[in-house]
Homo-oligomer: A and B are copies of this chain.
Amino acid sequence: MASNMKHEKLEKLAKLVRYFILSATTEAGSGHPTSSLSATDLMTVLLFGGFFRFYADEPAHPNNDRLVFSKGHASPLLYALWGAAGKITEKELLTLRKFGSRLEGHPTPAFPYADAATGSLGQGLSIGVGMALNAKYLDKLPYRTYVLLGDSEMAEGSQWEAMEIAAYYKLDNLVGIIDVNRLGQRGPTMYERNLDVYKKRVAAFGWKAITIDGHNLDEISASYRKALRTKDQPVMIIAGTVKGKGISFIEDKDGWHGKALSREDYEKALKELGEVDKETRGKISRPKKLRPEQLQPQPAGDPDYDPAKPIATRKAYGYALKRIYPAYPEIVALDGEVSNSTFSEIFKEAFPERFFEMYIAEQNMAGAALGLATRRKIPFVSTFAAFLSRAYDQIRMSQYSNANLKFCGSHAGVSIGEDGPSQMGLEDIAMFRAMDNSVVIYPCDAVSTDRLVEEAAKYRGIVYIRTTRKDTPIIYGKDEDFRIGGCKVLRRSDSDAATVVGAGITLHEALAAYEDLKRDGISIRVIDLYSVKPVDEATLKEASRVTKAIITVEDHYPEGGIGDAVRTALATSAVQVHSLAVTKMPKSGKPSELLDYEKISKGAIIQKIKEIL
């Protein structure tokens, strides 16, 4: 196709895309037409200008280029592009934002051309980093990852985490496009259309920075060509654009963010747009038919712990990853510069090519893990439990991407001791429980950690594994079975006065309390609630029927943790549930001092039982 003809065709397609955007949003009565129009030319050239390579009938093809709309509110543009590619009908475009439609207000994987849910700003670039890491270091495929970014969202720190890590890993297969349309939701951005500010920052973070007029099709094409030629560094195209571009009465105007045109304005807009060829469709280039090398699962060995030697569950986490990797060759591990504390370093040392150091940048770590998960990897992400709170928005968003992601938070609770409250995970169970379909695992010894890490690898979905800093005794034999949703009744008799439910560090306190109470002639039931979500309702209900009270004990704040999980399971039982949890502002001290201070130690359990009986 001669350049002129190509240019003409692209203009035609851009017009069609604009028409689709306006039709869909006006029909929906809401949405973000102006934010879509500003990026229309940029994306039309990308998809239909011969740059983007994608088997449109096989969105899951491993060598397809990836496209992430980090500015998820431009979803009408995303849908319109695939409309212009002939992959969704005009009729379906008009279902935008309607209940049951695949075309949600912000993209989700319900739409087959969206790999991940976006819409919480500043997350798409990290997802792109994960996809690009996969192409360059794991699947070793030539696909490229493109991320459409808004100018407002460049204020998010997570973007600069993604920038630094992408440069560090020399991701020359990653292209970001900033749609600098000058206007945020409630007015101008910090830098309006000053492309130079963005350019300086982008370059300082080690990327190749290209500034262009985002409505000049030739400049756009040239920038993609330049991007494709760049080696050893990621590329950012910084495009000056006009919000609402193409429709004069909404162009560059404040007050038009997230607003659909009325029917009347819509008709006016169509007149301005002029004749639209509604039958024209764009062609997307195809990539090479490459697939990654198939990794053959090999049998994993058995865990091998000396039952006489206490060992921290955080350490068992690292050994478990190393042990099971041959059987789950899609595993990758990411760590936030604390691998010698979370012990993901044990895995790193064994399989360095499957480990990514993500430095102290937890948001990007979580986002990149999601990107890896979209490329069929099984990411295990580790840092201190407390610091996973840094990435809660990214973690929360990944539940809408059907993500297969595993998080391990070490240093749970006050039992870490001297480092003090800043390093103590005390809200992490609450955080991970409060998500759709999440799993929360909290093992108390090395054997259960090992087995449950394997269960996490098998399970498809978001799993949180909580580990403990200090060494704990091994209480399980190596052939013991553990399952998501299970628990273990460790002490039971026909005359149990009460049931104590613990997990992790407090399970050992409960076992110690059992021994002391036995000497006093009191027998209690002790349950290891290693699966905090889902919880083994049946076993808890049985205990509630045969013992007088349930006492939960946890190294976590009282809200959202084990107490709440048990009470929910027993909400329609008549049993009393008493809870011991961290209720005083924690401080530095020895682990045992802090367990006593917070009244979650053996002594506190015994006291509580004697109070109740």
Contact = CB atoms under 8 A, between A and B. Distances in A.
Interface of A: 28, 30-31, 72, 97-101, 104-106, 108, 110, 117-122, 152-153, 155-161, 164, 168, 184-186, 189-190, 200-201, 203-205, 337-341, 345, 359-361, 363-364, 386-387, 389-390, 392-393, 396-397, 399-400, 418-423, 426-427, 430-431, 433-437, 533, 556-561, 563-565, 567-568, 571-572, 574, 576-579, 582-585, 587-590, 593-594, 597
Given A185-B341, A340-B186, A99 B572 contact: no
Contacts of A393: 386-387, 389-390, 392
Q: Of A98, A105, A158, A579, which is in contact with the most chain B CB atoms at under 10 Å from its CB?
A: A105
A110 B558 CA distance: 23
Contacts of A189: 359
Copies in the complex: 2
Nearest to A395: B389
A158 B101 CA distance: 36
A377 to B, nearest CB: 23
A293 to B, nearest CB: 30
A149 to B, nearest CB: 12
Given A104-B587, A201-B201, A338-B185, A422 B400 contact: yes
Contacts of A437: 585
A422 B120 contact: yes
Contacts of A108: 420-422, 587
B168 A190 contact: yes
Contacts of A572: 576-578
B392 A431 contact: yes
29 contacts: A100-B589, A104-B587, A106-B419, A119-B421, A119-B422, A120-B386, A120-B390, A120-B423, A155-B164, A157-B157, A157-B159, A157-B361, A157-B363, A157-B364, A185-B340, A186-B337, A189-B359, A392-B392, A392-B431, A433-B559, A434-B560, A436-B582, A436-B585, A564-B567, A564-B568, A568-B579, A571-B576, A571-B577, A574-B574
Contact of A119 (B392, B423, B426, B583): B423
Contacts of A582: 436
B560 A571 contact: no
B418 A360 contact: no
Contacts of A567: 564, 567-568, 571
B422 A597 contact: no
Given A152-B360, A184-B360, 4 more contacts: A99-B587, A108-B420, A185-B338, A563-B571
Contacts of A159: 157
